[in-house]
Amino acid sequence: MVSHSELRKLFCSADAVCFDVDSTVIREEGIDELAKFCGVEDAVSEMELVSRLQERNVQVFLISGGFRSIVEHVASKLNIPPTNVFANRLKFYFNGEYAGFDEMQPTAESGGKGKVIKLLKEKFHFKKIVMIGDGATDMEACPPADVFIGFGGNVIRQQVKDNSEWYITDFVELLGELEE
């Protein structure tokens, strides 16, 4: 088990930080809530953390089991490039009818968030990646993530709270770590 002090040092020296989207970066969970969420200014106001990380030249990624077309709206508000978004792609027939989702995306399968982090380490040679999220699939991404920070600022999932070595309910705590 890693000490809380060591976890903080790892966070502050990370090459990349990956955020879950539903109930972490945004308050809502689920397709219906996300669909009406395309104007994301209010729910991401606390995401000053993303700006601070980017100022420190830390790569920031959004990894979601949700749909890319919606997650990209969130990313654009946070100045995260589309290349740093990993989410499921919707498919449509030529007549516009829904045809399903792209099953080839790593986020479309079990353990997908961990597969994305493994891919990021291989592609960019990141030494330290932090995963921040509210759910079990986020927690399962560590390893290959080096640190998992459980987030309960929008919804508290007891399993995540009980099993996270570092659990926060407000991004202000992480901002404080970057200030020290």
Q: What is the rounded distance in angstroms from the CA atom of residue 38 to the CA atom of residue 74?
A: 7
Q: What is the rounded distance in angstroms from the CA atom of residue 49 to the CA atom of residue 58?
A: 11
102 annotated active-site: no
Q: What is the rounded distance in angstroms from the CA atom of residue 47 to the CA atom of residue 15?
A: 18
22 annotated active-site: yes
CA nearest to 69, candidates 89, 40, 97, 84: 89
Out of 20, 134, 138, 146, the active site residue is: 20
Q: Which helix H or strand E contains 139, and what residues bound it?
A: helix 136-139
Out of 22, 134, 138, 146, the active site residue is: 22
Active site residues: 20, 22
